[in-house]
Structure 1
Amino acid sequence: MTKLLVLAALVCLAVKLLTQRWPWELGQPQARSLAESRARNLLGVEPNAKREQIIEAHRRLLAMVHPDRGGSNEAVHEANAARDLLLARLVERR
């Protein structure tokens, strides 16, 4: 029984070293990709959007959610965070 537990622990460690995720996390989407997907949905851009498209979508969204137009500060912060995340991902891909 002890040998089985040691073997299971070694397999878990091997999976973690190879995939950077624990075995029980393999079926779950990564948090970073979920955040990127949410940001793309918020701004309404495609996964392969260029920098100019992201900035233009951000401007359009800000025009709708700005506090001077009945929006909220939280919505502006969320739009800014989405823009920043997507632009940072573009830089990482280069």
Structure 2
Amino acid sequence: MGPLALIIAGIAAWLWWTGKLRRITGRDGMAIGMGVIGAMLLAKGKPLIGLAPMIMTGVYALWRLRTPTITRPADPVSLDITEARAILGVDENADPDAIRAAHRRLISLTHPDRGGTEALARKVNAARDVLLRHYTEKQVPPERD
């Protein structure tokens, strides 16, 4: 009973660690719990009681695999240069190293893994991209004929 539960918990932890369970819903968690309970009851020698949660978990897993998940399209973030500077907190004369340093400082606070939101992290990344692109365009000398 114990080793089987540890194996199932280990698989769930591995799936979460690799990111396959990153978007787990409440229903998914309940199905995993029902599967663990059913496996423990089957391991205890109670097949009539343990078979029902295992069947329900299997049916839910098949339903979940057939039902496509709804994904929202990534909304492109369009910023002008003044907004990008305001977001990163850099001045007009900032070089790429200062832009990257400001980005690292800000993204460490706003990253979704650290409690921020995906939208905010996307905006910070877009601000960095806009400023770096503007800096490289500003540095390219015009072509002469």
> Where on the TM-score scale, by shorter chain, does this alignment land: which range?
0.5 to 0.7
Q: Deviations over 1:69-91 (max 9, x none)?
A: 21001111101100000000011
Equivalent residue for 1:56? 101
Instruction: Measure, in 2, the Cα distance between the counterparts of 1:90 and 1:63.
Output: 23
Structure 1 runs of 4+ off > 3 angstroms? none
Question: Which one has more relative contact order, counting CA pairs under 8 Å at least 6 apart?
Answer: 1
Equivalent residue for 2:44? none
The share of aligned pairs that are identical, in percent, is 45
2:78 aligned with 1:42? no
What are structure 1's unaligned runs of at least 5 residues?
A: 1-31
- Residue 46 of structure 1, CA deviation: 0.5
Q: How many residues align?
A: 62
Equivalent residue for 2:137? 92
Q: Which moved more, 1:67-76 or 1:52-61?
A: 67-76
Equivalent residue for 2:120? 75
What are structure 2's unaligned runs of at least 5 residues?
A: 1-77, 140-145
Instruction: Measure, in 1, the Cα distance between the counterparts of 2:99 and 2:92.
Output: 10
**TM-score normalised per structure 1:** 0.62
**TM-score normalised per structure 2:** 0.41
Letter in 2 for 1:40: R
Equivalent residue for 1:26? none
Q: Deviations over 1:41-66 (max 9, x none)?
A: 10000011000000000000101101
Who wins on radius of gyration, i.e. which is larger? 2
Structure in which a larger fraction of residues adopt helix: 1
Letter in 2 for 1:73: E
Q: CA RMSD in A?
A: 1.5
